[in-house]
Amino acid sequence: MIESPARSLDLGPMPLDRPMEEVDSLFVHAPVSTIFDLAKHVEHWPTYLPHYRYVKFRSRRPDGGGEVEMSAYRPFELPRRRISGMRINWPTWWLSEMSVSDEKPSIRFRHIAGITKGMEVEWSFLPARDGAHVRIVHMWEGPDIPVIGAFAAVYVIGPVFVHGIASRTLAGLASVAERRAKRQQS
């Protein structure tokens, strides 16, 4: 792994003018510090999340971000009436710039390679009574395919692939955070 310059990456605010906007959110019965710590250490995600194939940092920044390569499966269940219990795991891959803010707990990604190149992602963490509210927002123009790029992003890639992976990621990390919080209370 190559070390990056001694400064954090500033990805700026999330854009608000993209055709595709996918939002996944979940109340987590654990403190913000617990779920944020799990989320920002993306290199450990495959340990907790069976749908993640791998996560590798190509370079690191002092904030814990950097350039990170990720690959996950998007599982699909085939209809039971045709083929009993058959599951297909569609492999996905992307490369992102990542920044982490400990001040206002948040994580930003900008996809810089893969079919989702140009996608902007933000994880936000808000304290709440008895836990935390975690929200993941994906904004994107779509793939650079004339005429159908935005359509594919809004109607296929966003709801089927992005939501399919993000919702599993959030639920999986929430489960780990909640187990840790229960152990700490015992």
CATH number of domain containing 83: 3.30.530.20
Domain span at residue 175 reads 2-185
Q: Is the pLDDT of residue 111 over 60?
A: yes
Which range in 76-85, 107-116, 177-186 is most confidently predicted, on average pLDDT?
107-116
pLDDT band at 3 (very low <50, low <70, confident <90, very high): low
Do 136 and 25 touch, CB atoms closer than 8 A? yes
Query: Quick check: 74 pLDDT over 90?
Result: no
Percent of the chain clearing pLDDT 70 (strictly above): 92
Q: How many CB atoms lie within 10 A of CB 18?
A: 18
Higher pLDDT, 3 or 27: 27
Judged on CB neighbours under 10 Å (0-12, 13-18, 19+), 39 is: buried
The string of pLDDT tens digits covering residues 29-59 is 999 999 999 999 999 999 999 999 999 999 9
pLDDT at 134 over 60: yes
Does residue 108 sit in helix, strand or coil? strand
Residue 116 near residue 157 (C-beta atoms within 8 A) = yes
Quote the Cα angle for 79-85-88, to 5°: 80
pTM of this structure: 0.90
Residue 65: predicted pLDDT: 95
Which percentage of the chain shows pLDDT scores above 90?
80
Q: 117: burial class by Cβ within 10 Å (0-12, 13-18, 19+)?
A: middle
Q: Domain total for the chain? A: 1
pLDDT band at 2 (very low <50, low <70, confident <90, very high): low
The whole-number average pLDDT for the span 167-177 is 98
Q: What are phi and psi of 132, to 5 degrees?
A: -145, 150
Check pLDDT > 90 for residue 82: no
Tally the residues of the chain: 186
Angle between helix 32-40 and helix 163-185 axes, rounded to 10 deg: 130
- Mean pLDDT calculated for residue range 136-162: 94
Q: What angle do CA 87, 89, 93 make, to 5 degrees?
A: 170
Please say if the pLDDT value at position 85 is more than 60: yes
